[in-house]
Amino acid sequence: RGNVDLPDEIAAAQAHGAEGVGLLRTEFLLTGHSTLPSENEQAAYFERVAEAFPGHPVVVRTYDLGGDKFPAPFRVPPEANPALGWRAIRVCLDEPAMFRTQIRAVLRAAARAPIQLMIPLVTRLDEVERTRALVAEEAAGLRQVGVEAAASLPVGVMVETPAAAVMADRLAEISDFLSVGTNDLTQYTLVVDRGNARLADRFTPHDPSVLRLLKLVAEAARAVGKPASVCGEMASEPLSAFLLLGLGYATLSVAPPALPLIKWLIR
Ligand code: PEP
Ligand code: MG
């Protein structure tokens, strides 16, 4: 599958043979805008992506704001430690109006396509339970007012923190799939800022600590029969992709330019 950050990448992922989108980043809907995107605008975008990959899943990641990405509509006071601060699913659950709008847009787009929802930077089980409750509430609300929408959505967990990796068995039970974000998992496991050039040689997903977590997550998903995939940059490197297959990951989602080589390697 392909990772799609910006609309321009849809065509590239298509051209390189992506079997769906394993990570549809949604932050661009906010960056550079002075207002939050409407439900209609988001639903139209998700439908457009789904139409580009007929019959294949599109995994929409809920807003992963904060840390390295905070757009204009949010005026947040600076934090001493943004990477450990108010980010991702924490922001979404604290801003229910914004989160519910996004969930409704995904439910509407999922009426006619296999669209799934994925939650970034999970550290606790209740983040999944609360998200699922919001999805159920919004699905019921849309049905009540007669809007065409999916009755429910597969909800997956991005495993990007040591907490999520260690709790992967429980998270796999209460979600529909796990997808490992190795960029953040490496950063938080090794305590190495992923953007710090001076520490670049320490930022390695091949560290034994990260590999142990990757193995744990794959095994936890397999034990309860849930799919596990990898959507971090690691999956785009040929040798790492090979390693991930051996660890039991059946699905990899990679940047469009990496698709041909990774597909060839897997075959
Ligand atoms: C990751 O952390 O591996 C990931 C895929 O998410 P992002 O790079 O958008 O943080
Ligand atoms: Mg991440």
Q: Cα(148) to centroid of ligand 2, in Å?
A: 31
Which protein residues are within 6 Å of ligand 1, measured from CB?
Answer: 23, 25, 64, 160, 181-184, 231-232
pLDDT at residue 68 in the model? 62
- As a whole number of angstroms, the distance between CA 89 and CA 163 comes to 14
> Which backbone phi and psi does 229 adopt, to 5 degrees?
-135, 170
Best mutation site among 160, 161, 249, 254 for ligand 1 pocket (most ligand atoms within 8 Å of CB): 160
Using the atom order of ligand 1, give the atom closest to the CA of residue 233.
3
201 three-class SS: helix
Q: Cα(25) to centroid of ligand 1, in Å?
A: 9
Best mutation site among 24, 64, 184, 193 for ligand 1 pocket (most ligand atoms within 8 Å of CB): 184
Q: What is the CA radius of gyration of the chain?
A: 18
pLDDT at residue 97 in the model? 96
C-alpha 247: how far from chain center? 20
Q: Cα(145) to centroid of ligand 2, in Å?
A: 35
Tell me the ligand closest to 25's alpha carbon. Answer: 1
> Which backbone phi and psi does 186 adopt, to 5 degrees?
-65, -45
Using the atom order of ligand 1, give the atom closest to the CA of residue 160.
2
14: left (phi over 0), alpha (psi -120 to 50) or beta: alpha
Secondary structure of the chain as H, E, C letters = CEEECCCHHHHHHHHCCCCCEEEECCHHHCCCCCCCCCHHHHHHHHHHHHHHCCCCCEEEECCCCECCECCCCCCCCCCCCHHHCCCHHHHHHHCHHHHHHHHHHHHHHCCCCCEEEEECCCCCHHHHHHHHHHHHHHHHHHHHCCCCCCCCCCEEEEECCHHHHHCHHHHHHHCCEEEECHHHHHHHHHCCCCCCHHHHHHCCCCCHHHHHHHHHHHHHHHHCCCCEEECCHHHHCHHHHHHHHHHCCCEECECHHHHHHHHHHHC
pLDDT at residue 32 in the model? 77
Q: Cα(141) to centroid of ligand 1, in Å?
A: 31
- As a whole number of angstroms, the distance between CA 59 and CA 5 comes to 12
Mean pLDDT by 10 residues, the chain (267 residues): 96 96 95 88 97 97 83 78 93 96 98 98 98 98 98 98 98 98 98 96 97 98 98 96 96 97 94
Tell me the ligand closest to 235's alpha carbon. Answer: 1
With beta carbons less than 8 A apart as the criterion, state whether 153 and 107 touch.
yes
> Which backbone phi and psi does 6 adopt, to 5 degrees?
-130, 155
Q: Cα(142) to centroid of ligand 2, in Å?
A: 30
Q: Cα(183) to centroid of ligand 1, in Å?
A: 5
pLDDT at residue 50 in the model? 98
Name the closest-CA residue to atom 6, ligand 1: 181
- As a whole number of angstroms, the distance between CA 140 and CA 195 comes to 42
Using the atom order of ligand 1, give the atom closest to the CA of residue 180.
3
- As a whole number of angstroms, the distance between CA 159 and CA 179 comes to 6
> What digits encode the pLDDT tens for the residues 216-264?
999 999 999 999 999 999 999 999 999 999 999 999 999 999 999 999 9
Name the closest-CA residue to atom 3, ligand 1: 181
Q: Cα(184) to centroid of ligand 1, in Å?
A: 6
Of 21, 77, 81, 76, the C-alpha closest to 53 is 21
Record the pTM: 0.96
Q: Side chain identity at 47, as an amino acid letter?
A: E
pLDDT at residue 214 in the model? 98
Tell me the ligand closest to 229's alpha carbon. Answer: 1
